[in-house]
Amino acid sequence: MLDFLKRVYAFPFVAGTWVWLSLSGMFAYPYFYITGFNPKQLRYFLYFQGRVLQTAILFASAFYKKKIKKALPSQPSILIANHPCTYDTFLFFDFGIKDLVCIAKGWPFKIPIYGNFIKKAGYINTDNATSAQIIEQVKERFKEGLHVAIFPEGHRSLTTGRFHLLAFEISIKTESPLVPFVIKGLGQMLAPGEIFARWAKIEYVQLDSVDCKKFKGMPAGNLRMAQYVKNEIIKELEREN
């Protein structure tokens, strides 16, 4: 019964986010088409979409949404997070990070309208690309002053799964800081494979940035860095809210 009430409460907010994401994209598309899909404008539009979605999550959590924010490094950085929910891609916008692109597998680029937006905004597609090619693209984004976000698990997972090495390889090869974020509660609100959300407490925690120089030159430095960051994320997940 309690679970049913939690679902009834959260439903209008979460359903509203899907309507918002679809309709805002459809209405904005002609403008971007006419103006030639300006990457910066697209990134700011995605930021705006994300902020509205985060507001809906705030209501869906009945204002039990907490955020621990720290200063970002002054240079463009790699941002990573655990990945329990489909809304995670909008996490970084809640921290006010506008100048951002994500690295993703091919399928989001195939979503009508949204896929075109992220492609033109400069998001990086890993399909059919080697790490060397991806790192070159990341360097280009860094030159533009953009942060680069990646979910090292690669797919949604309630328990923290195997971390792909790409984020850590990029951090070491480009000598850029890596900033881990921890998402708590979104997996309870909308678990992988579920359609109907439920009320849950949400907490977003920004951890201290990790200096890649500690791992550079070590044998299998990227693996060690991945293990270190994963442990830090797990420790934060296990900490009581």
Give the SS3 label for residue 157. Answer: coil
Interacting residues toward other proteins by CB under 8 A: 105-106, 126-132, 134, 154, 162, 164-166, 169, 219-220, 222-223
Q: Is 73 or 161 the residue whose CB approaches other proteins more closely?
A: 161
CB of 104 to other proteins, least distance (A): 9
Q: Is 21 or 166 the residue whose CB approaches other proteins more closely?
A: 166
Give the SS3 label for residue 80. Answer: strand
Radius of gyration of the chain (CA): 18
- Going by DSSP bridges, is the β-strand pair 65-68/202-206 parallel, antiparallel, or unpaired? parallel
Determine the Cα–Cα distance for residues 199 and 58; give it in Å rounded to an integer: 10
CB of 169 to other proteins, least distance (A): 6
- Among candidate residues 4, 97, 92, 16, the one with its CA nearest the CA of residue 60: 16
Q: Are 72 and 97 in contact (CB under 8 A)?
A: yes
Residues sharing a CB contact under 8 Å with residue 214, sequence separation 6 or more, in sequence order: 225
Q: The tokens of 237 are what?
A: 């997940």
CB of 107 to other proteins, least distance (A): 10
Q: Is 127 or 144 the residue whose CB approaches other proteins more closely?
A: 127
Q: Is 74 or 130 the residue whose CB approaches other proteins more closely?
A: 130
CB of 86 to other proteins, least distance (A): 17
Q: Is 120 or 224 the residue whose CB approaches other proteins more closely?
A: 224
CB of 151 to other proteins, least distance (A): 9
